[in-house]
Structure 1
Amino acid sequence: MYSETDRLGRNWSLSAPVQRLAVGQPASILTPLVLLMGLLAGILTYRLVGDQLRLTGRLLQSNEDLSASQSYLQQSRADFLAIFQSMDGGAAFTTPDGFIRMTNRHYLELLHLDAAAVAGKHIDEIRQQMVVNRPGNREACFRVKLPKSIPVWFASCTAAQAAISGAS
């Protein structure tokens, strides 16, 4: 029996003397079967190790990409928070169903509240605590709302407007 294959830039060959197979002697087929099974096991091992090496390389590249993305995300988040906190107008981010996730300091200053008083509360609770339904009150601070796809409430009055309208 003779077999030849080209792997890794080299020709590999396997040769083994095979006796003539006799129907009356099943043991005569044992040697070729053992050789073929060994060859099959070697080929499968080679393929599995190669696949594992390729996957390891891809995983390492993915980890590097993920680390870079996380670093960029952290920097973007820090930039956003710096801009959000330095805005002149007050703003509060809410969940789509109206629960406050984050406010900037101007929002809290306009409503004379602290962060603990509004954290996790529904925007309507804050509105009910702060708004009396008369002209010239803090109701203007709750009027501007973006479309539902962007859950943000803006305090549309500045501190000066709130003082003039009697909101302070």
Structure 2
Amino acid sequence: MKSSLYILFISAISCLSFTCKKEHPKDINLIQKTQAETERDAIITYAKQYLGTPYLYAGNNPAKGFDCSGFVSYVFHHFDVSLPRSSGQYKNIGIELSPEDFKVGDILVFYGYKDKTIIGHLGIICEANGMQSKFIHASSGKVNSVTITSLDTKHYTNRFYKCIDVLSK
């Protein structure tokens, strides 16, 4: 009787060990993916609290106003991600993405409004959908404040330079 219980016990432990080893990596990947998505969502939630904050050239303070790079660097700084303060410095940072790989929290980089040879504007993707994504940014246009805009407007598609991921390591 003792040997039958012993064999049953060993079989049960072997089965549990095999099952845990088999599913363990999959579970870890799901947890890591969820944490990364949660961090990206948190960035957007934080950024959205500044909707309507006035545009201010060279601004990086919510009490006074933001320009585009001031807004982006301010939001990411809250999450301990150090980014350049000037939009021109975004030309050579991050991981460049194809539209099908755009994610919430990625940064859109645009040429200047009048000068298509320099980087002149930035925004953070808040709804990822390739070239139809929506982004939050400090706009100096009609709205003249932090706002959400669709990338598929002619004004922005004509100026689009690239999208970068600054969160993946």
Q: TM-score higher than 0.5 here?
A: no
Higher strand share: 2
TM-score, length-scaled by structure 1: 0.29
Higher helix share: 1
TM-score, length-scaled by structure 2: 0.29
Q: Whose RCO is larger (CA < 8 A, sep 6+)?
A: 2
